[in-house]
């Protein structure tokens, strides 16, 4: 892809300039069913990396449930919004720059890695897997579709089940737990479909 740095910077700049609007649109979204699926695979008190913390909605939920949460976002404004809502460690960092090694029991990336270009998605997911402890669980969600698109200056990498299965398989040392499609939980955006993924890190590559 050409000019990926420009696309990436324009996406981050959108969130920096429209933080309040984004928070209002997302902070009250009911993620209960997705939380329920995610929490089937982790224990209370486990360490969670909230990758792309946005408004702090999910951090707040996980902290209240007794998990140890570290939050990361590429947008400085989003980091500040999270700090307003919950007392957790918040780091201003891009997903592509993760450098953790077996640090977390789970990584939660709700509608955040969709801004990583397809060119860098595999290496970014490998960094996510490196951040997980053995048997750790990763949840991620992307807008359902093919290719990529732009909306208000934001870049989105879209995925179908087939493409995501191929991507997950390329990681080698993960087990695909669940892959499913949902509609947006916000009433005014019910027509938007999301591809949800749950994987678990294995202690060695699976035989294919």
> What's the rounded Cα separation, in Å, for the pair 166 and 147?
15
Three-state secondary-structure class, residue 189: helix
Quote the pLDDT of residue 30: 86
Contact 170, 150 (CB under 8 A): no
Q: Is there a contact between 102 and 77 (Cβ–Cβ < 8 Å)?
A: no
pLDDT of 153 reads 83
pLDDT of residue 189: 67
C-alpha to C-alpha distance for 180 and 189, rounded to whole angstroms = 18
What pLDDT score was predicted for residue 3? Answer: 57
Cα dihedral 137/143/144/150 (nearest 10): -140
Distance CA 177, CA 169 (A): 12
Q: Where are the domains of the chain?
A: 4-201
Position 6 scores a pLDDT of 55
Query: Number of C-alpha atoms within 13 angstroms, CB side, residue 28?
Result: 5
Question: Which residues of the chain fall below pLDDT 50?
Answer: 1-2, 206-208
Q: Which token pair is 104?
A: 């977390």
Q: What's residue 164's pLDDT?
A: 97
pLDDT in tens, 63-98: 999 999 999 999 999 999 999 999 999 999 999 999
Residue pair 136/38 in contact (Cβ under 8 Å)? The answer is no
**Please, are residues 106 and 24 in contact by the beta-carbon 8 Å criterion?**
no
| Strand runs labelled E in 52-166 | 68-73, 89-92, 104-109, 132-143, 148-151, 154-157
pLDDT reported for residue 4: 57
What kind of fold does domain 4-201 have according to CATH? Rossmann fold (3.40.50)
Taking only Cα atoms into account, the Rg of the chain, rounded to an integer number of angstroms, comes to 16
Tokens of 87: 């007392």
For position 190, what pLDDT does the model report? 72
Instruction: Give residue 177's pLDDT.
Output: 97
Task: Please state the pTM of the whole predicted model.
Answer: 0.91
Q: What is the pLDDT of residue 206?
A: 45
Q: Would you state the pLDDT for residue 2?
A: 47
Distances (CA, A) of 124 to 85, 94, 193: 27, 10, 23
At residue 161, the pLDDT reads 97
Q: Are 115 and 78 in contact (CB under 8 A)?
A: no
């Amino acid at each position: 892809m050409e000019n990926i740095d420009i696309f990436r910077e324009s996406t981050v700049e959108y969130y920096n300039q429209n933080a309040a609007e984004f928070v209002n649109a997302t902070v009250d979204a009911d993620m209960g069913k997705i939380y329920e699926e995610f929490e089937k695979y982790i224990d209370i008190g486990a360490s969670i990396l909230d990758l792309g913390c946005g408004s702090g909605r999910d951090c707040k939920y996980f902290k209240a449930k007794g998990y140890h949460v570290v939050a990361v976002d590429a947008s400085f404004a989003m980091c500040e919004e999270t700090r307003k809502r919950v007392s957790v460690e918040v780091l201003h960092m891009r997903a592509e720059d993760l450098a953790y090694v077996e640090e977390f029991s789970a990584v939660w990336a709700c509608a955040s890695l969709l801004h990583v270009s397809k060119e860098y998605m595999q290496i970014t997911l490998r960094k996510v897997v490196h951040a997980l402890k053995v048997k750790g669980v990763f949840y991620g969600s992307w807008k359902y579709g093919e290719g990529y698109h732009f909306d208000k200056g934001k870049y989105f990498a879209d995925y179908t089940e087939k493409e995501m299965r191929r991507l997950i398989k390329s990681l080698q040392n993960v087990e695909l737990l669940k892959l499913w499609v949902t509609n947006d939980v916000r009433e005014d955006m019910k027509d938007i479909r999301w591809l949800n993924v749950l994987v678990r890190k294995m202690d060695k590559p699976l035989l294919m």
